[in-house]
Structure 1
């Protein structure tokens, strides 16, 4: 058919090309290609050639004997050679001209035709070669001038963008070689300045207008912050709005397939969520670092005389706790410097009499102030036991205090704090959770400092708007408020946090006193550590679902309280998003490695915000720890490791909490189960180990398939590596816990 067309239209067809990059692709052997060339030359009058990259002509010089002219393809872009606005320093141009000169010297008697030369305006970077409108304009302008001076015969690739070429193995870049886009619009002029994005003024205006009102509102509402803090958060607002506009308009710069659009539909809401979490964390960062002073700071009070002391009923709920540990707690309660109190020990559902009877005997030894109850069977987990205790409380009690079975309290806990209940608006006085006997045990030490961060940072941040999280230990509650709002909720496994929210909804104030009035024990091992955080995450979702109308509708809760209870768990939502995104990334990476014609590399500009969020969150956390938590750099980094190791457990808790109504209440073990083998140490992190292994396999697959040729590929491998950090942290944490054993702190 080629021969027939050439002979039918001799005045129209001036040259005949037999094969386009056939030898380059390895479609045919050299000998067969030569036979085709000889056959065509014998039957047509036009000059005949084959189009190949310059190195093919160097590799097979005998090919020149079977063509009438030499056709070469010159693509410095694919060789990763960058261009430059200065023609003398334009490496891409010099490389193309150098290749042309080399072929001309090799075949001085043959006419040389540059069959294809050009530069893409978009797509994936090749080493130093960056696809862009400006670089396309620079290279083509330089080439046109050089070709005119040298009288080079050439064809530019190409007139129009060809979106269908993305499926030919050229990747995203293959669609963008035209001087006109697919809609037949000229990309750049041949003279004068070149604008990379002609719509940038309108995008910049949109981002500025979107950020203006939030910035003005923040500057006015939080005028008590130092100027640097207000400037920092305003810049963060502008950055977030800019990224939203950028991300929303970016897809329209590409020719996207339905697969790409599907991924973008999933990625864009996730990116909005990431920016929201960044702003929420940034607000906490700003307030903690740059507030002039804490507005709602509360400290120790002068003790009341005995006749003015409110009567306190201390409730200690326990299940299957080591008797010797509970006895330490009871001894500390017996030593309280306070006259008007009682202690109720409620053991619910401990089956072994050897565990609960020694505690009962010890309470009898301490005297009538200590009362012991054994409940079996009893529903409602800890909340059920506390509600039983509420019914047994001394009628004189004005305040109900709750502590965990492992806490050793200070003698002045009650005497220094019960004075706050003289204010009828106060329903809760909360002290921070703290830990003891951890200093010389590496696992307990890292978890102790990880716990400490929230009470030094997050609780102060929330306390400014009367929105603290009430905890189930070191807490005191006004009895009338507790009973008047329905007691402890048995429908959630986080009955303490739910009670705090319910009391706020009833109009009460909660006081946070950042004094270490009692210290307990950290979780005994990594399984207990994970289980506790899973329970907290699951319970948080129960509360959000159960009290959703309180959060989103105007009512007794203030805007600040609704803000903190809606967004306070957003960092945990980020862990859930991390799990979802990791699973999607594993699927997409497998697709890119196995079926690159259908799965393109993610857009570079969608990857950068994700990487930026990862670094920003890490920096925020470390800076706040150094500013607010009295620990060393080593402890700060180990606390960060501990925090990251919980990501998968939190993600599961969030997702299960959103999709399930109930789960079991698992008591956090405070004493170690010894005798485990090294392999058993990793039993609690089986899923994390599998995820880490899968991510490593994906990184290796990407490295073998793409290497470092594409910046997007390199960024994607970096993201896969960053995604693996929480999973490796969990594995490391489990190993540290195993090696640390249960030696005394």
Structure 2
């Protein structure tokens, strides 16, 4: 345990040190004076001024009191809606004011703005100028002659300098405009011109010089200069708090040195400017709480950096504590788990920092909240998978696994086993093979109860009845019609016909051929009176039937060689309805076979565990069945398992409450994480994919609410963890070749939609009918394409990714990441499409690939084509026998 503590401390220290190494510090020229002017809007919150955002006198006074310590003057953009209160209050603090008149296509409003601006100029001695319109030509709200007419009207009514505010290129391109104003008020915003942060100030100085050169004798004012502190990149322009601080300090220092008139945009962040894209709310030198965002002197640092770092390290330590519940964890195992925990801590701290430094309207807050609700279980699932990787790769070898035959009972007594084989419309020849294998069991004390249920056609049950008679009195045949409760109902009937002295019940499916040593090797485990159940894995004997079957068999093997082995360590295995041995007393205590779920085997197994019985698992193959005939059957089987699993969650969750059962905390954790890992991961994956699809047009065409990397990168990380988990554990535990591993991965991904649909069915329905898995070659392949909806969703995800990239003219990195997420999310859906197509193609047959390889080798000269042998015709002798 000391080693574990040492590793935890070392990783936490390294985590803290990494934050120290990555801490960003920038240098910039100091500025200790007052700014000549800043843009000010007295609005706060996320409501647009035109909706309901009227400022109060008290709020304006508080703002201007703070701004008087930062600037000599303020620039306004309108003169109504509460802004008319600003000039007289500014005068209280000695602040000069440049009044603004907002102009747009609303003529009545324009008239009100002009009248209010003129009135403010006449009645407030601290007003030093009027800006008529702001980027009105750039927005194409007015024609140039219309704008000039408004400017001239104002000039005729006041004795102050009058101008209009426009981006610098309009001043350059419209000389008629410059001649109509008293001074040039140019907006130079390098961010919107895609200028990198390091070149922003040089760019502004170059443009201001260009304007001075183009308009000699005319006063040139940089009426807007600034840089956003948050938001998305615009091609090479990167917003950020360090960039804002460095750029503004550099610009102000250089502007002061050459006597350049300027106004900084803006004084205070404006959260209501979300319509200007991701950067709209973040141009202020003060945040929305009216606090400075950076210092004008000294090194530029993040004042909250070490608070965030402390949160990250603390969460990392807290999430590392579950390591102490592990039994004798190794140092490498502890290291991997602790690093993962600290990584999650860093992510949570980053999310907290994002929440603390961004403003949210209802839509963005909802998106972030919903995203976090969906991501938290994904992160927990990823953590559980990392723990399994660490345990399998670096932890102790399994301690409870039955990996060799158990010794025979010392007293030489073999408890009686009653083997139950339920069958429903099963091919008779297949079932005969199963019965023959049971007859060959090397065990002295067993019986076999075969129950054919709800199968009135005698061609299915008559041969089995005859075969049971041939095999002898050990084999009991039951043909039951109108059985209620599906497979569980049939097994209840079998229990009623079981020999009274049978202590152990064995369950096998109708297609399973068991090995002779099945009972001999495993029944001795019941010598321990606490053992209630022993489970052996499923395996299949037709994995080479086709490429699809080959992939499916590999996919099944992972569950039995990885998941079941690990769950067995906590006495928390999942019982599946074949190759299992159950103590009769444990079954009776658990209430026997219940018919209220369609996964009666798993339901019974959990009920046995809840009552304190010990279970054991072996990964030795003692039986070989048949794979589902078709991809449709494979999907139906997975749907049944998932739907039944969800039924079991609804049925048993109360047993997981404190004191409600004999489940240990470790068992509760295994079952909970198992359900979350299977049912939750697949369902959440589909929900997130569909939500992302819905969000594509918003991102592409509305230019707002782009998912930030705190939401998209965890999805990518979860996918990578899942990929590593699958590949690494298969390579360590499952004895299959690399090609089959790839096929197993595709098969596993292909049922994501199926599982999520089953969970949805479980949410809205109580009982679906039991769906038999077609085996033995009796089922016909459906004429319907088996992955229609997967094809639709997968195609939409790819189209969505293409649309995001095509319309990302601003080259926003988050959009590219978002597009990459959509591509990753399409893979499970496309996997289903691929298998559905493969099933109906020649490529599904191994012979096709063998012949293709031969032909390819022949074409490139690696293999010479065998020439046909020509047999010479037999020579007929022309000699004749000599005459006698």
Change (3 A) 1:743 1:317: farther
- Residue equivalent to 1:194: 300
Deviation of the 1:570 alpha carbon: 0.9
Matches within 5 A, 1:173-572: 173-196=279-302, 198-213=303-318, 215-216=320-321, 218=323, 220-222=324-326, 224-248=328-352, 250-301=354-405, 304=408, 308-439=413-544, 441-554=546-659, 555-571=661-677, 572=679
Contact 2:137–2:166 (CA<8 Å) still a contact in 1?
yes
Change (3 A) 1:214 1:720: closer
How many angstroms apart in 1 are the aligned matches of 2:286 and 2:319?
40
Kindly provide the CA deviation profile for residues 704-736 of structure 1, in whole angstroms up to 9, marking residues without a partner as x: 554453223223222233322222222222222
- Residue equivalent to 1:86: none
Contact 1:524–1:742 (CA<8 Å) still a contact in 2?
no
Deviation of the 1:230 alpha carbon: 0.6
Kindly provide the CA deviation profile for residues 342-400 of structure 1, in whole angstroms up to 9, marking residues without a partner as x: 22221111243323333333333333333322211101111111111111123342221
- For the residue of structure 1 that corresponds to 2:284, the secondary structure is coil
Matches within 5 A, 1:99-110: 99-110=207-218
- For the residue of structure 2 that corresponds to 1:547, the secondary structure is helix
Change (3 A) 1:98 1:353: farther
Which residue of 270, 288, 301 maps to 1:162? 270
Change (3 A) 1:570 1:112: same
- Residue equivalent to 1:686: 788
Change (3 A) 1:228 1:307: closer
Contact 1:529–1:668 (CA<8 Å) still a contact in 2?
yes
- Residue equivalent to 2:857: none
How many angstroms apart in 2 are the aligned matches of 1:464 and 1:507?
15
Kindly provide the CA deviation profile for residues 492-529 of structure 1, in whole angstroms up to 9, marking residues without a partner as x: 11111122222222322111111111111222222211
Deviation of the 1:320 alpha carbon: 1.5
Which residue of 139, 159, 179 maps to 1:25? 139
How many angstroms apart in 2 are the aligned matches of 1:319 and 1:503?
26
1:655 is the counterpart of 2:757: no
- Residue equivalent to 2:256: 148
- For the residue of structure 2 that corresponds to 1:588, the secondary structure is helix
Larger radius of gyration: 2
Contact 2:547–2:846 (CA<8 Å) still a contact in 1?
no
Contact 2:385–2:721 (CA<8 Å) still a contact in 1?
no
> Which range is displaced more, 411-420 or 182-191?
411-420
How many angstroms apart in 2 are the aligned matches of 1:439 and 1:686?
27
Change (3 A) 1:665 1:75: same
How many angstroms apart in 2 are the aligned matches of 1:216 and 1:162?
42
> Which range is displaced more, 490-499 or 331-340?
331-340
- For the residue of structure 2 that corresponds to 1:429, the secondary structure is strand
Which residue of 220, 226, 239 maps to 1:131? 239
Contact 2:507–2:578 (CA<8 Å) still a contact in 1?
yes
Which residue of 833, 838, 850 maps to 1:731? 833
1:722 is the counterpart of 2:824: yes
Change (3 A) 1:453 1:710: same
How many angstroms apart in 1 are the aligned matches of 2:301 and 2:121?
47
Change (3 A) 1:78 1:7: closer
Change (3 A) 1:741 1:328: farther
Deviation of the 1:130 alpha carbon: 2.4
Kindly provide the CA deviation profile for residues 137-169 of structure 1, in whole angstroms up to 9, marking residues without a partner as x: 011011112212332221111111111111xx3
Which residue of 67, 75, 94 maps to 2:189? 75
Contact 1:278–1:617 (CA<8 Å) still a contact in 2?
yes
> Which range is displaced more, 337-346 or 114-123?
337-346
- Residue equivalent to 2:715: 610
> Which range is displaced more, 180-189 or 232-241?
232-241
Deviation of the 1:448 alpha carbon: 0.9
- Residue equivalent to 1:584: 691
Contact 2:535–2:617 (CA<8 Å) still a contact in 1?
yes
Change (3 A) 1:406 1:68: same
Change (3 A) 1:322 1:173: same
How many angstroms apart in 2 are the aligned matches of 1:662 and 1:200?
53
> Which range is displaced more, 243-252 or 137-146?
243-252
Which residue of 122, 137, 155 maps to 1:8? 122
Number of residue equivalences: 730
Contact 2:643–2:762 (CA<8 Å) still a contact in 1?
yes
> Which range is displaced more, 72-81 or 444-453?
72-81
Contact 2:547–2:844 (CA<8 Å) still a contact in 1?
no
> Which range is displaced more, 257-266 or 183-192?
257-266
Change (3 A) 1:489 1:7: closer
Deviation of the 1:444 alpha carbon: 0.9
How many angstroms apart in 1 are the aligned matches of 2:645 and 2:588?
22
- For the residue of structure 2 that corresponds to 1:255, the secondary structure is coil
- For the residue of structure 1 that corresponds to 2:841, the secondary structure is helix
How many angstroms apart in 2 are the aligned matches of 1:409 and 1:266?
50
- For the residue of structure 1 that corresponds to 2:814, the secondary structure is helix
- For the residue of structure 1 that corresponds to 2:262, the secondary structure is strand
Contact 1:489–1:495 (CA<8 Å) still a contact in 2?
yes
Change (3 A) 1:582 1:391: same
Q: TM-score, normalised by structure 2?
A: 0.77
Change (3 A) 1:52 1:366: same
> Which range is displaced more, 107-116 or 396-405?
107-116
Change (3 A) 1:390 1:635: same
How many angstroms apart in 1 are the aligned matches of 2:353 and 2:656?
32
- For the residue of structure 2 that corresponds to 1:368, the secondary structure is coil
Which residue of 107, 114, 136 maps to 2:222? 114
> Which range is displaced more, 359-368 or 340-349?
359-368
Deviation of the 1:136 alpha carbon: 0.5
> Which range is displaced more, 717-726 or 734-743?
734-743
> Which range is displaced more, 713-722 or 290-299?
713-722
Change (3 A) 1:590 1:710: same
Contact 1:300–1:417 (CA<8 Å) still a contact in 2?
no
Deviation of the 1:170 alpha carbon: 0.8
Change (3 A) 1:199 1:10: closer
Kindly provide the CA deviation profile for residues 14-46 of structure 1, in whole angstroms up to 9, marking residues without a partner as x: 444343222222223345445555666677655
How many angstroms apart in 2 are the aligned matches of 1:648 and 1:541?
15
Contact 1:681–1:734 (CA<8 Å) still a contact in 2?
no
Which residue of 740, 744, 751 maps to 1:646? 751
- For the residue of structure 2 that corresponds to 1:607, the secondary structure is helix
How many angstroms apart in 1 are the aligned matches of 2:566 and 2:390?
10
Change (3 A) 1:28 1:696: farther
Contact 1:323–1:356 (CA<8 Å) still a contact in 2?
yes
Kindly provide the CA deviation profile for residues 617-672 of structure 1, in whole angstroms up to 9, marking residues without a partner as x: 22222221222112233222221211111111111222332443211110111255
- For the residue of structure 1 that corresponds to 2:769, the secondary structure is coil
